[in-house]
Amino acid sequence: MENIIFDQIKNEVNSNDIVLYMKGTAAFPQCGFSAAVIQILSQLGVEFKDVNVLEDAIIRQGIKDYTNWPTIPQLYVKGEFVGGCDIIREMYENGELKQHLEANQIPVSDAA
């Protein structure tokens, strides 16, 4: 079962430039940490795919096992796990997130 979930996650993160595994949706986040990452991505003006882990307990656990990271949300850029809320917030505040996105050829708005 784990291989099927890992394949599904791998396919998701590799077929979208930015993927956010979160509680709720981009339009209706259901936890403060997920909402904070949505706000940061919105400030940067980037499009992303949101995956609501509350809809599927197997994905919810699978994403934690996939990265060996215990918390949600989890942000992926070009197939690579970047971090959770605290890491994303810190990277955003010191400019690293914008640089990381630009280094991966993802256009960022200058509203950031």
User: Quick one: pLDDT at residue 110?
Assistant: 67
Longest C-alpha distance within the chain, in Å? 43
Q: Residue 109: which pLDDT band, with cuts at 50, 70 and 90? A: confident
Predicted confidence (pLDDT) per residue in 17-27, tens digit: 999 999 999 99
What are the domain boundaries of the chain?
2-103
pLDDT tens sequence across 56-82: 999 999 999 999 999 999 999 999 999
What DSSP line would sit under 11-40, residue for residue? HHHHHSSEEEEESB-SSSBSSHHHHHHHHH
**Rounded distance, CA 30 to CA 45, Å?**
21
CATH code for residues 2-103 = 3.40.30.10
**Mean pLDDT for the stretch of residues 25-41:** 97
Structure confidence at residue 111 as a pLDDT band (50, 70, 90): low
